Amino acid sequence: MKAIAVIPKKEKSVHLVEMDKPGVAEFKDGRGVLVEVLRVGACGTDREINNAEYGVAPRGFDFLVLGHENFGRVVETGEKVTELKKGDFVVATVRRPRGSSIYDRIGEQDFTTDDKYYERGISRLHGYMAEFYVESADFLIKIPPSLAEIAVLLEPLSIIEKGLKQASDIQERLKIWRPKRAAVLGTGNVGLLTVMALRMRGYEVHGFGRNSREGYLNAELCAGIGATYDSTAEISVTDSTRQYGEFDLVFECTGFSPIIFDAMQSLSENGILILSSVTGGDRTTDAVPSDKINQMFVLGNRAMVGTVNANREHFEMGVKDFALCEAMYPGWLGRMLTHRVEGLENFARVFDILENSAKYNAIKTYFEVKKF
């Protein structure tokens, strides 16, 4: 079968490989499921791995098959699989409990404390940019046919769902917390999905991005689901509170670390800031009003938390939000799927879009591996 791989730590090494088709017998417990890949999303993580920023090949291989955003159809199931059958649509989770930490042992591998972790298409496990993969039924989420068209967006949504779940859990420190107003920093793929998830929870949502509003599809999508959009080139997040009021919850997904300090000054008392960007590099920030921020957080009982990866429950939460969004705003999610590339052999086109997303005005780029 065909697959798209890189040689980890070798810059611009993305290439097509031929591999043996996997089989359910690889899972000796009878829980294996063979999945035909229909669509696989491409994102900044794939770009960064191809740019040699990180990525680890599985043991015994000198290459890593990319891809963690996935959608497929069941081809065959092992004898112990009862919850899935041939023809079912599925999305696979990403991280696996193969580490030695207590969190791996209890099935909370997204909280692993191990330096070595196991993620499909990222670290030590091959990913989903292939024609087929085999996986344990334990890590497959069944997708209703009515959501098949937008299911490739589920993996990025799962990270948001985890962040919002963590916020809710943390805010149990308050006997009563009834948040009403939220800000989303960054309105790319992840940011728009965050706007959607918050709107599904009834929040008044305000999105912030770098681009001006006029002619910007992402701003149009914010308006289309009942949120506002502002350019940070025209108004800072902190200054926006004079217009909107302070935010009970701020979800950061920009990849631009200095904006965090702006966000910290925009929280209401008892509010919570969620950080989801992974920011490599050595950027520093001067002129931060650190005394003011410290005082605001201490005296205002404000909180901040980082979130990464997701577990099965977060994928399942995402399916429910998809269903609600499709009922309330039909077709909204589908408009995020801006750039479809047919066939794995056209990987160069996908990585060109990833490297030049602003040029292409891309929100979500994905491979259509096989029509369905």
State the CB neighbour count (10 A cutoff) for residue 21: 12
Establish if 162 belongs to a structural domain. yes
Q: What is the pLDDT of residues 34-55, one digit of tens each?
A: 999 999 999 999 999 999 999 9
Provide the domain limits for residue 222: 158-306
Establish if 313 belongs to a structural domain. no
Establish if 357 belongs to a structural domain. yes
Are residues 342 and 285 part of one domain?
no
Are residues 347 and 237 part of one domain?
no
Are residues 292 and 207 part of one domain?
yes
Q: What is the pLDDT of residues 340-363, one digit of tens each?
A: 999 999 999 999 999 998 899 999
Question: pLDDT value at position 278?
Answer: 85
Are residues 275 and 185 part of one domain?
yes
Average pLDDT, the chain: 97
Model confidence at 328, pLDDT cuts 50, 70, 90, reads very high
Q: What is the pLDDT of residues 207-257, one digit of tens each?
A: 999 999 999 999 999 999 999 999 999 999 999 999 999 999 999 999 899
Torsion over CA of 171, 174, 177 and 179, rounded to 10 degrees? -50
Evaluate whether 263 touches 239 at the Cβ level (below 8 Å).
Answer: no
Give the total number of structural domains in the chain.
2
Q: What is the pLDDT of residues 112-163, one digit of tens each?
A: 999 999 999 999 999 999 999 999 999 999 999 999 999 999 999 999 999 9
> CA Rg, the chain, in Å?
21
Run of H or E including 244? helix 237-244
Q: What is the pLDDT of residues 100-110, one digit of tens each?
A: 999 999 999 99
Percent of the chain at pLDDT exceeding 90? 96
For the chain, how are helix, strand and coil distributed in percent, rounded to 5? 35, 25, 40
User: Which of 291, 306, 321 is at the close of a domain?
Assistant: 306
Are residues 24 and 85 part of one domain?
yes
Average pLDDT of the residues in 187-196: 97
Question: pLDDT value at position 342?
Answer: 98
Longest CA–CA separation in the chain, Å = 62
Average pLDDT of the residues in 272-282: 88
Are residues 137 and 171 part of one domain?
no
Distance in angstroms (rounded) separating the CA atoms of residues 197 and 305: 18
Question: pLDDT value at position 178?
Answer: 96
Q: What is the pLDDT of residues 313-326, one digit of tens each?
A: 999 999 999 999 99
Question: pLDDT value at position 279?
Answer: 82
CATH code assigned at 52: 3.90.180.10
Distance in angstroms (rounded) separating the CA atoms of residues 150 and 27: 29
State the CB neighbour count (10 A cutoff) for residue 322: 24
CATH code assigned at 162: 3.40.50.720
Percent of the chain at pLDDT exceeding 70? 100
Average pLDDT of the residues in 172-195: 97
